[in-house]
Amino acid sequence: MLTKDSMLILALHNACVGYFNGKLINIIAATTLHINPNFPEAELLTLRGKDPLLAIPFVAQTIHIDGRYTRMTISSIREGMSIRPETIQITLLAVLHFVNVNEKKFYYAACPLIVNERPCKKKCTHHANDSWFFSRCQMTMQDCNYSYLLPLKLQDAIGTLWATAFDVGGIHLLHKTAKQLYALQNDGTTTETPSSMIKRALSCYYSFTLLVSTETYNSETKMKVKVNKVAPVEFKAECHALLAKIGCLSTKS
């Protein structure tokens, strides 16, 4: 049925829509496939296919807004890092889809000392006598600090991306320090738990500032994504930016 001057409209009924490197459609036993169905939506698609001005393919684009930062989609991040191995800072508008932690693993025990005018934050070891050994500082203390270690799954309209939030990103996201959440976890007088706070943050849009880099280990190149900042979405500014982008497309056409 596929010819040079014709196009096919396929309609699936009772199919499952999922996400893996973008959207995908899975068929099940009850799925039915209709070729060139006779209903208004199919006719509209046929008209769009015949009009070259309406048949505009969707392309992942990088958006530069006011020269202040670079906005990228998840797919364009992957494509960009394949040709740019250096660390870059980008902004991603995405939904917090999943946090891969339980109530006991959203943090790690960290050194509380100040080294070179900055908190050390290196992992420490718990000894049997309830003391903590800090390998970097070569010291033993009775108390330690706690730092965030949050693996986040981010999702936009094109795909999903795993990123790691440490102290700065975790505080921006949950509005508490890791030590405060650690104390809350062991407080039996309140119903508020780290798990409930994380659940409230899920399925919400955020503006993520990410530090993206690549590293090679055993001849395999992997992408590392660190959450540097999390901020609420300024929808008014987003609308102005998108309208400006649409205006540029209209001018070019």
Give per-residue pLDDT as tens, 125-184. Answer: 877 677 888 777 777 877 788 888 889 999 988 788 999 999 888 888 888 888 888 888
**189-198, pLDDT tens digit by residue?**
777 777 888 8
Q: Are residues 180 and 242 in the same domain?
A: yes
Assess if residue 244 is contained within a domain.
yes
In a domain, 128, yes or no: no
Domain for residue 241, yes or no? yes
Asked whether the predicted pLDDT for residue 62 surpasses 50, the reply is no
In-domain check, residue 134:
no
Q: What is the pTM of this model?
A: 0.63
Is the CB of residue 230 less than 8 Å from the CB of residue 208? yes
Kindly state whether residue 114 falls inside one of the protein's structural domains. Answer: no
Q: For the domain that residue 156 is a member of, what is the CATH number?
A: 2.40.50.140
Residues 217 and 92 occupy one common structural domain: yes
pLDDT for 64 beyond 50: no
Mean pLDDT, rounded, of the chain: 77
Is residue 97 located within the same domain as residue 216? Answer: yes
* Tokens encoding 41: 């939506």
Do 153 and 43 sit in the same domain of this protein? Answer: no
> 200 and 247: one domain?
yes
Is residue 111 in a domain?
no
Residue 21, in any domain of the structure: yes
Instruction: Please tell me whether residues 211 and 99 are part of one structural domain.
Output: yes
* Sign of the C-alpha dihedral computed for residues 100, 103, 108 and 112 taken in this order: positive
Helix/strand/coil for 148 = strand
Asked if 41 and 34 touch (Cβ cutoff 8 Å), the reply is: no
Contact 75, 58 (CB under 8 A): no
Q: Are residues 178 and 208 in the same domain?
A: yes
Number of independent structural domains in the chain:
2
206 within a domain of the structure (yes/no): yes
28: Cβ contacts below 8 Å, ≥ 6 apart: 14, 15, 16
**Paired tokens of 28:** 């099940």
Query: Does residue 77 share a domain with residue 18?
Result: no
Say whether 37 sits in a helix, a strand or coil. coil
Residue 43 lies in domain = 10-50
Instruction: Give the three-state DSSP class for 16.
Output: strand
Same domain, 83 and 37: no
User: What value does the CA radius of gyration of the chain take, rounded to a whole number of Å?
Assistant: 24
Could you tell me if 73 and 21 are in contact, meaning their C-beta atoms sit under 8 angstroms apart? no
* Residue 51 pLDDT: 64
Which tops the pLDDT comparison, 76 or 160?
160
Is residue 92 classed as helix, strand or coil in its secondary structure?
Answer: strand
Residue listed under structure tokens 């169905």? 37
